[in-house]
Amino acid sequence: MPANKTIILNHFFPRFLGWTLVLQLLVWLASREPAVAAPVELAIAGFAGEFYRLFFGDILISANQLIHEGSGAYVVVDQECTALALVATVWAGIFSLSHSLKKKIMMAIIAIAVIQLENAFRIMHLYYEIGKVINRFEFYHLYVWQLINFITAVCVFFFLDKAFQKKEFNLGLP
C-alpha cells in the first residue's frame, strides 16, 4: 500500500471518527436545549424568509414558521432543518486534516457559511413548493435535497482541503 494511503488510514479516519462523535454529541445536546436550539431555528427561518421575500414577497415569518400568504400552508424550521448535523460532519473532516489550527478554523467558518447558504436555498425551495396547489414537497424534501446536501458537503470539504493546500489561497495563515 502506498505511504500516503497508509497515513490517511492511520491518521485521518480515527480522528474523523473521534471528531464526529464529539461534534454530533454537541449538536444533539444543543438540539435538546431550547435556549440554544430556538435562537438557531429562528435565525435560520428569519434569514431564509427574508431572502425569499426579496424575490417573491408572499411570505409571513412567525417565529420559526414560514407561512404562505395565499394558501396558508407553512414550513416549520425545526432542529432537523438547521443543517447543524451536516456542518458537524464536515467540521469533523476538516479538524481531522493535517492543516494548521488557524487554517482549520478558517475552513470551518467558510464551510458553515456555504452549507447554511445552501440550507437557506433548500428551505426557500421547499417553502415555494408548499405554496403550489399540487406540489412535490415530500419528494424534494426526502430525496432531492438530501442528495444535494450530501454533494454540497463533500464538495465543500474537498474544495477547502485543496484550496488551503495551495500557498496562494492560504490567506496569509501559516
For cell 436555498, the residue is 121
pLDDT band at 77 (very low <50, low <70, confident <90, very high): very high
- Looking at the chain, the whole-number percentage of residues with pLDDT higher than 70 is 90
For residue 169, the model assigns a pLDDT of 59
Its pTM stands at 0.88
Contacts of 110 (CB under 8 A, 6+ apart): 156, 160
For residue 57, the model assigns a pLDDT of 83
Q: What is the pLDDT of residues 101-137, one digit of tens each?
A: 999 999 999 999 999 999 999 999 999 999 888 999 9
For residue 75, the model assigns a pLDDT of 94
Cβ atoms 162, 110 nearer than 8 A: no
Q: CA quadruple 104, 109, 115, 119: dihedral positive or negative?
A: positive
